[in-house]
Amino acid sequence: MKPEDAITRFVSAVILTSTFFSFPAAAVVRVPASTAYFDPDPDGGHIGSSGVIERWKTPENRILWFGLFRQTGEVHAALALRVFHGTAVPLRLTIAGQSRDAMALGEGTNTLRVPFGSYVISSNGYYCIRLESPSERAGPGIVVESLELDGPALQRSHFNLKPRRNAASVHLWYPVPKETEVEAFYCEVTPLEDPVATFYMACGWHRGYFGMQVNSCTERRIIFSVWDSGGEPVDRSKVADADRVKLVAKGEGVYAGDFGHEGTGGHSHLKYMWRSGVPHRFVVTALPTGSNETIYSGFYFHPDQAQWILISSWRAPKDGGYLRGLHSFSENFSGTTGHLVRKARYGNQWIRTSRGEWIELATARFTHDETGRSDRLDRFAGVEQGQFFLCHGGFLPGFTEYGQVFTRSPARHPPADLTLPPVKP
């Protein structure tokens, strides 16, 4: 996608704190540099520990802020920045398709306020505020501290002033009667957008998660992970052996190891350049061993091989039960791409009970993380083409209410070709 297309597409916003703000016409809104994004290269600059932008790679990259305007009228814009002594840096700031130029003249360590004049907001909605420079002197020559806005159009506007730039994480929860012994959970995911730092998780349960990830422009993964017992949040070296999940088996070409910093446990992944726009099939199984342990296994239907393959199996201690807390989610795990749209469809969800009965899951409840509560309202769920969907990022207008329940049309026929490979320790 061309950078200019991306800017047009991501009908904008920079979201702020816990409520909508009603700024008086005279109030100045200072939007920190730490909330901005770089385009087209997400790593086209560096946000320092103090929240300033430095080492901006110009003129190839633009700095983007996003804001929700709920009032039409004028907005006046300025930048707070520092420029190395003796340096003159030309800058251009664009709001609502209106560009204004200014020259920043260096004064060393002193903070300058560089005004760009007035812009007209003609309709309510999200807007992209774009800073660029035609000069390579801007990169090493300036440090951007904040965007300053004032004027009548700022009344009831909404910006994100927090340094976390990730889009909100969004979830689908599938209700299952508590007494149901779920030994298999099947779900299909069709990714529609695939920016870097996206994780579309198909099969989540109380002990782990299973899905597909975009790690870079040249690497994608199928990921299956299972949590330890004991509740250690960060460091797996602190987890007692009796609380550790242990690898039972893994598929050909699959890496298996540890993970931490989101709880701890056993992680596995297959590097595979999966494709968007087509459904991908996942199933996770639970096998209680009778010794207060359960073996959890993740199987992926490999499109190129046209068969089910094992990603990995893990023996989970202090368990001995079946799958519960079934859900899917979509996550933006790096803030550098938090301004990009993520969307996937989740469909054909089924469970198989310990009695061999197949039950379709055609109802889902939408939730989101704390970021989605008030900082990033661009989070959505619903039903389209007979499947659930999750969408987040992109600063798109509107939002889906937390807790909303959706029902899709049932397929009525469970997956017929679930011939899974045997697990060989």
Cis amide leading into 59 (omega within 30): yes
Q: What angle do CA 285, 291, 294 make, to 5 degrees?
A: 15
Domains of the chain: 3-154 (2.60.120.260), 170-407 (2.60.120)
- Looking at this protein, which amino acid is placed at residue 159? F
Q: What is the mean pLDDT of each run of 10 residues along the chain (425 residues)?
A: 32 28 61 97 93 90 96 97 87 97 88 96 96 85 94 93 95 96 98 98 98 98 97 94 97 96 96 98 96 96 97 97 98 97 98 97 98 94 98 96 97 90 83
Token pair in block for residue 187? 């779900």
pLDDT of residue 2: 35
pLDDT at residue 7, rounded to an integer:
28
The two three-digit tokens of residue 354, written as one number: 């310990």
H or E element in which residue 355 lies:
none
Q: Tell me the two tokens of residue 46.
A: 């560096």
Q: Is the whole-model pTM more than 0.95?
A: no
CB atoms within 10 A of CB 276: 16
9, 43, 59, 81, 171 from 392: Cα distances, Å: 14, 21, 29, 31, 11
Integer Cα distance of 184 and 38 in angstroms: 43
Q: What is 271-313 written as a DSSP string?
A: E----TTS-EEEEEEEEE-SSSEEEEEEEEEETTTTEEEEEEE
pLDDT value, residue 17: 26
Helix (H, G, I), strand (E, B) or coil at 59: coil
The H-assigned helical ranges of 35-134 are none
Predicted pLDDT of residue 5? 35
Tokens representing residue 189 in the block? 């995911």
| pLDDT for the residue numbered 18 | 27
Residue 422 Ramachandran class (φ > 0 left, ψ -120 to 50 alpha, else beta)? beta
Tell me which residue has tokens 């099947």.
186
